[in-house]
Amino acid sequence: MKFATNHYCRLRRNNIYKENIPMQRKGFKQRAKDLWNYFSTYEKIWFLSILVIAIAFTFIFPETDDGYFTVTFDKTAYATTEGSYDTLVFEGTTGEFTLKTVKINGETVKLPYAEFSIEEGVPDTLKVKLPVAVTKDDEIAFTECWQDSDEGEWHVALVNGESGAALFETTVDLTDGVSSSLYTAEEKSDYIVPVVVITICYLLDVVLNISCELLISKQSKWNFIVSLGVEVVEILVCIFCAYRFATMATTLLFWIPCDIISFVMWNRHPDEQKEEVTIVKKLTPMQDVLIVLGIIVWTVGVGYLLTFIEVEGGIFATNSTLKNIACYLDACASAVGIANGLLILFRYREQWIAWYISSIIETVINIMAGQWILLVLKAGYLTNTTYGYIKWTQYIKQHNAAIANKQNVQTEATTEPAVAATNTVDKQ
């Protein structure tokens, strides 16, 4: 007994000694190596490919803040003083430009055309008929026009559609926006920040999102921590571009709290075999139907309300039709996003389907807005969503099979003593 007591005391002292030995902290290189080895070869290739393509797109399709101009034609420069004039003629105009509205005596007149690309040296390239005729006493100004290329000029005349006589005829050079006797050019800005800031936000959005995508496909709870960074960046993009207010509100009021709660919930359901993996499951058919109905109701209601929001400037400021379409798409994206967030929170596989639909809607909006860098991100979403759905499906099958096998073992273990007892009684 004495020997046993002494042996126990030595073991206890040794354990206490080991507990008091400080654990060696891993250096940066080791941590980086562990992180690198955490991902599979496919995941590494996917991540780096999306990153490289996104950086390439920043140079191929750079974000621009093309200047807006107001071009006013002075009545003292009118070449003809009699008759009415209703046709704008652009001859041999160089460069690409957009002209949406004119003002006649301060009243805005919508034009039937918006975007023009004129070939150099081609006469009578474009004629735009005004819905209201202009006389010698009227003042005319181009109020929604901007130059899409670095260089170029407009050769423009306002003529009578029948006689061809011109009220004025001039060359408008918008390269530097300098005033002249024929017009004044006033540059405005699309965004509230320099475009380089928006470009950086786009790239940061790509890096954080693809990192989050990989982590969630691996059923890692840490994807929610990375996702918080995503939310902050995407809120900034919405503010800078003055658009997608439904998405911004959803991010603030839903996604940020959802990320925090989801991290806690996932932390409570680790896999029995791998603690870094969270247990996931799938929906019932009735749950699928209810979610789809909720998305439809939200899209129609919120989309309709968004069409009444009026803002100065922004990415869709010059096209009311695109703005209204974007409102409904934005509402649908936010609805699907909410469904996706709730499905993630409760660890349902169908969140990948919701994310797939959301990615398609986001792709359409990005094309409408000319956000080519973000298209690379959406391509990454679509490929990784398929990958994540397959991985989760395989896990659910294996997990359910393991549970069934465990239950069978327990059932057999319970029945064996009962059978043995019965046999004993029979023998007696």
Prediction pTM value: 0.57
Residues 227-248: tens digit of each pLDDT: 999 999 989 888 887 777 777 8
Q: Which residue has the higher pLDDT, 428 or 167?
A: 167
**Residue range 343-365: average pLDDT?**
87
Residue 118: is its pLDDT beyond 70?
no
| End-to-end Cα separation, the chain, in angstroms | 44
| Per-residue CA distances from 76 to 84, 90, 103, 227 (Å) | 16, 21, 18, 61
- 293: confidence class by pLDDT, cuts 50, 70, 90: very high
pLDDT (0 to 100) of residue 184: 53
Q: Which residue has the higher pLDDT, 353 or 64?
A: 353
Q: What are the contacts of 230-237 at 24+ separation with CB within 8 A?
A: 230/205, 231/255, 231/256, 231/259, 233/201, 233/204, 233/205, 233/208, 234/205, 236/201, 237/198, 237/201, 237/202, 237/205
Q: If DSSP states are collapsed to H, E and C, what string results for 205-248?
A: HHHHHHHHHHHHHCCCCCHHHHHHHHHHHHHHHHHHHCCCHHHH
Can you give the residue ranges of every domain in the chain?
Answer: 46-58+192-403, 68-173
List of residues 6+ apart from 69 with CB closer than 8 A:
142, 145, 146, 147, 174, 177, 185, 186, 187
- 186: confidence class by pLDDT, cuts 50, 70, 90: low
Residue 222: is its pLDDT beyond 80?
yes
